[in-house]
Chain A
């Protein structure tokens, strides 16, 4: 909601050209590589929210888990306040988790059904803040529950997850992450499993954490409207690659990349004019194609098989990242400088 400052401080958490490949078994004896994330670069700053938008299989969850330290990148680097994060045997050091926390999509799955709310909040307090004293633990658990508006706190502390509604569970999950006092909160579709009527409360809660506590927030979603509501910047992923980024209003109102345009147009929008809607539904009856396999992605731009503007160069060469000013960038030959000249030079 604020204009980007001209000189940026060091990002709290940054991904620099991060790539993640998974080896999978493809049939008997043969192995294949899934190129889940390719060359992703992302900066998260204090008090700002970046939305990572993409469809399922676009690599957004893999990126979130890379940032959360679940696994090490195949290449590239993740830096916490400028310092590269080291991994030992595929696991980051515990200190990393003190700064970066992940909120899962499914509030029903991410709380152990056998533990009370209290257990979930006390563990991080013991682990990261060395709180042992019973009274102190109670006080801080109460504080945390109040911060996520689960009041009266003493009543909620002793409940089991199955006694809570979906929204209340997700609040507990957020409180558990906050107990660590992290600098970065990664939300992997934190509202998509919640009932529609309580989603906004959750977004407002995240917004409050950003403004009041200065958390850096990564909001991963497939829902562009909610991304627009919460975030400052939008980054769009397609088939494992980041294809467009910039301030939300510009990106959503006037997408540069044909895929972003397709995504925005496909989103439900009751405010759409009747004529636009008819045109859209008529056009939509054509086959719009589907994202490619990440085992064998198309050469060149990964979107070219579905792109109405695809040119020769799109089929052979991956487009470079082009900055177009106002903090906006895209990876598309439509906006890269003189694509044909570039392609001739290299050939």
Chain B
């Protein structure tokens, strides 16, 4: 994909920090998350349990509820033909006007988000007519049938109730509903985890196809890095609430810089390449209630050295193309040299 003009940013997330407040110390689920999303881009967010990826989703879509509280940072959103809005400080009213028309969300359980006692067409018509009050009932139903067709569901299904559809179809209808009002940004949280591989492939193909047609940008959150490597334009890898690496899918696959990214990539056995013994990453993801000191990955890292347990590395450039990594291997001057050679070999 050719990257659009650099100043065509749809979303700028800066220093976003989300805490879960408890009676004791707050638990930091997202710490200083910074990234930008261009128009029409698919940004993958990969992470394991406790990486903060789901918290990020609720923070981005402003769906979070106490005890989750955004304690710092901004989310600057520039909808088409509108002024930039900071979603963190935006009033509930502004948020309401943005939802669905500019930002929509697809959850793992999108299939359960449909109202079981309403026909599909009625639910779509509701959404469409809230957005555009001049739309007639008939036109809304026609548009609903059209939308269903785009996700591979026959148009005459508008008259069906959700329970008459299979799980995979409901999930696709949920996606169609999220796209109904032509949003600029769709946040997807594990939208294919609850469906089978064949259905997953189908849903992803349809999302890609619709993206080409409608030009929306996607933040796609999942634990399945192998899926993102095939789907996303750029990928942010999260660990313990922080973005530890951010780069294009190709670079991340061919030359991951962060030891965690490398370990994660090598945690997926190959489908066709010759088999070798893989080890995954020793240890287990950190408990955010007691995060490790310094770099949160250091207890599991095979390449740690003196100071990793005390110094928290910043997310900084490593190589060209805006590739970012938060690892002290690339902090000092010799480390930076190393990234250049790594990249050279990858190209």
Direct contact of A and B (CB under 8 A): yes
The CA-CA distance from A272 to B271 in the complex, in Å, is 9
Size range of the interface on B?
A: 35 or more
Q: Is the pair A228, B205 in contact by a Cβ cutoff of 8 Å?
A: no
Residue among B227, B273, B280 making CB contact with A197, cutoff 8 Å: B280
Q: Is the pair B269, A226 in contact by a Cβ cutoff of 8 Å?
A: yes
Given contacts A197-B48, A280-B201, A290-B168, contact A271 B280 (CB under 8 A): no
The CA-CA distance from A198 to B202 in the complex, in Å, is 28
Q: Is the pair A284, B268 in contact by a Cβ cutoff of 8 Å?
A: no
B230 at the interface (CB under 8 A from A): yes
Q: Is the pair B49, A264 in contact by a Cβ cutoff of 8 Å?
A: no
Among residues 243 to 272 in chain A, which have CB atoms less than 8 Å away from a CB atom of chain B? Answer: 252-253, 262-272
Among residues 160 to 218 in chain B, which have CB atoms less than 8 Å away from a CB atom of chain A? Answer: 166, 168-169, 196-202, 204-206, 208-209
Size range of the interface on A?
A: 35 or more
Among residues 216 to 236 in chain B, which have CB atoms less than 8 Å away from a CB atom of chain A? Answer: 223-227, 229-230
Q: Is the pair A195, B223 in contact by a Cβ cutoff of 8 Å?
A: yes
Given contacts A197-B264, A269-B230, A269-B272, contact A167 B284 (CB under 8 A): yes
Contacts of B209 in A (CB 8 A): 281-282, 285
Q: Is the pair B202, A268 in contact by a Cβ cutoff of 8 Å?
A: no
Among residues of A, the one whose C-beta sits closest to the C-beta of B270 is: A271
Given contacts A222-B197, A225-B270, A281-B204, contact A270 B279 (CB under 8 A): no
Q: Is the pair A195, B253 in contact by a Cβ cutoff of 8 Å?
A: no
Given contacts A197-B285, A198-B281, contact A266 B229 (CB under 8 A): no
Map CB proximity to B onto A151-185 as digits: 1 under 8 Å, 0 otherwise.
Answer: 00000000000000111100000000000000000
Q: Is the pair A196, B225 in contact by a Cβ cutoff of 8 Å?
A: yes
The CA-CA distance from A188 to B346 in the complex, in Å, is 39
Given contacts A167-B284, A229-B275, contact A197 B263 (CB under 8 A): yes
B347 at the interface (CB under 8 A from A): no
A119 at the interface (CB under 8 A from B): no
Contacts of A271 in B (CB 8 A): 270-273
Contacts of B267 in A (CB 8 A): 196-197, 199-200
Residue among B169, B227, B277, B278 making CB contact with A290, cutoff 8 Å: B169
Residue among B199, B227, B269 making CB contact with A229, cutoff 8 Å: B269
A277 at the interface (CB under 8 A from B): yes
B152 at the interface (CB under 8 A from A): yes
Q: Is the pair A196, B270 in contact by a Cβ cutoff of 8 Å?
A: no
The CA-CA distance from A54 to B22 in the complex, in Å, is 43
Contacts of A281 in B (CB 8 A): 204-205, 208-209
Rounded to whole Å, the gap between the CB of A257 and the closest CB of chain B is 14
Among residues of B, the one whose C-beta sits closest to the C-beta of A200 is: B280
Contacts of B169 in A (CB 8 A): 290
Among residues of B, the one whose C-beta sits closest to the C-beta of A167 is: B284
Q: Is the pair B48, A195 in contact by a Cβ cutoff of 8 Å?
A: yes
Rounded to whole Å, the gap between the CB of B233 and the closest CB of chain A is 13
Among B201, B209, B272, residue most surrounded by chain A Cβ atoms (within 10 Å): B201
Q: Is the pair A267, B271 in contact by a Cβ cutoff of 8 Å?
A: yes
Q: Is the pair A55, B197 in contact by a Cβ cutoff of 8 Å?
A: yes
Q: Is the pair A285, B152 in contact by a Cβ cutoff of 8 Å?
A: yes
Contacts of B168 in A (CB 8 A): 290
Q: Is the pair B198, A196 in contact by a Cβ cutoff of 8 Å?
A: no
Map CB proximity to A onto B106-149 as digits: 1 under 8 Å, 0 otherwise.
Answer: 00000000000000000000000000000000000000000000
Among B204, B227, B230, residue most surrounded by chain A Cβ atoms (within 10 Å): B230
A-B contact pairs, 10 of them (CB 8 A): A1-B275, A165-B284, A165-B285, A196-B48, A200-B269, A200-B278, A225-B270, A263-B197, A272-B230, A285-B205
Starting from the known contacts A197-B285, A268-B229, 12 additional A-B residue pairs (CB-CB under 8 Å) come to: A56-B196, A168-B284, A195-B284, A198-B284, A228-B270, A228-B271, A252-B271, A266-B200, A268-B230, A268-B268, A270-B265, A284-B201
